[in-house]
């Protein structure tokens, strides 16, 4: 697994997703560049088939209960049109790719492999669409303006119930969702709804760095946190002020 520049300073899953596009105040750069990046960020195996409806492995009955691991701003769509980044996943992913052996050659180099790549890229684009919708709605809510929450609502509607069963020793076993990526993104969308529409919105801050732009929940006692991380942007500002006092700037 290659090293990635993840940051986990948001304090909420939805904010951490927004922060997968870095340096929003500056030139900006993308962390979710390919489907494997999305899987790695979600803590899922990078070879997991995307958009094919392939279920995650079912744990043995003796398994302990487990829980789901909790780009540039898109332009506002006109009425009656879809979002700029990607189309509805229900159309482009779940109905688009078939499992291996259904049609075509069915081999690793055949049509099913191509469909898997296409489905993976489509799901990646939709994850970015969700991310940018969350970012825009956050900014709008903090400014007291109206937003365009439809992409968030569509993903929240795909929330999957927790599937459980009893093992032979009568302990609880939690079954993995059929599509763990969709399940995770739906949970993130629900977190965004609760954050944007709830009282915790007042905790949301944007890093004070002139280039950073990371969003985070300020849970400090004084409510005066300025930096996404003191080890990163906060430390850079301290160095800058120190050099300014010494006349080095």
Say how far apart CA 11 and CA 30 lie, in whole Å. Answer: 20
Q: Model pTM?
A: 0.73
Per-residue DSSP letter, 233: I
Q: What pLDDT score was predicted for residue 90? A: 33
> In which element (H, E) is residue 200 found?
none
Say how far apart CA 183 and CA 69 lie, in whole Å. Answer: 10
| 175 closest CA partner among 84, 91, 96, 67 | 67
* φ and ψ at residue 18, rounded to 5 degrees: -55, -35
> In the structure encoding, which two tokens stand for residue 52, read together?
């094919």
Say how far apart CA 15 and CA 144 lie, in whole Å. Answer: 19
Which pairs with CB-CB distance under 8 Å and at least 24 residues apart come from 24-31? 24/73, 24/135, 24/212, 24/213, 24/214, 25/209, 25/210, 25/211, 25/212, 25/213, 26/210, 26/211, 26/212, 26/213, 28/71, 28/72, 30/71, 31/4, 31/5, 31/6
Q: Are 114 and 122 in contact (CB under 8 A)?
A: no
Please state, in angstroms and as integers, the Cα–Cα distance from residue 10 to each residue in 45, 57, 89, 92, 95, following that order. Answer: 23, 30, 26, 30, 34
Q: Each residue's pLDDT tens digit in the chain (249 positions)?
A: 567 889 999 999 999 999 999 999 999 999 999 999 999 999 999 988 886 554 444 444 333 333 333 345 443 433 333 333 333 333 333 333 333 334 444 455 567 788 888 999 999 999 999 999 999 999 999 999 999 999 999 999 999 888 899 999 999 999 989 899 999 999 999 999 999 999 999 999 999 999 899 999 999 999 999 999 888 897 776 676 656 777 765
Say how far apart CA 25 and CA 101 lie, in whole Å. Answer: 47
């Amino acid at each position: 697994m290659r090293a990635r520049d993840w940051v986990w300073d948001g304090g909420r899953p939805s904010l951490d997703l927004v922060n997968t596009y870095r340096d929003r105040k500056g030139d900006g750069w993308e962390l979710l560049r390919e489907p494997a990046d999305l899987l790695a960020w979600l803590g899922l195996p990078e070879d997991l088939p995307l958009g094919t409806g392939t279920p995650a492995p079912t744990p043995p009955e003796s398994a302990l209960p487990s829980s789901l691991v909790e780009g540039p701003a898109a332009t506002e769509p006109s009425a009656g049109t879809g979002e700029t980044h990607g189309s509805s996943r229900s159309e482009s992913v779940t109905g688009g790719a078939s499992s291996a052996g259904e049609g075509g050659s069915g081999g690793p180099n055949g049509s099913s492999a191509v469909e898997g790549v296409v489905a993976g890229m489509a799901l990646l684009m939709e994850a970015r669409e969700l991310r940018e919708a969350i970012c825009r709605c956050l900014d709008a809510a903090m400014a007291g303006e109206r937003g365009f929450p439809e992409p968030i609502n569509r993903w929240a509607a795909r929330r999957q119930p927790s599937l459980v069963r009893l093992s032979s020793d009568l302990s609880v076993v939690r079954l993995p969702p059929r599509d763990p990526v969709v399940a995770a993104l739906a949970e993130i969308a629900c977190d965004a709804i609760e954050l944007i529409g709830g009282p915790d919105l007042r905790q949301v801050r944007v890093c004070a760095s002139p280039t950073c732009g990371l969003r985070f929940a300020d849970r400090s006692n004084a409510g005066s946190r300025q930096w996404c991380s003191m080890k990163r942007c906060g430390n850079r500002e301290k160095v800058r002020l120190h050099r300014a006092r010494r006349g080095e700037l």
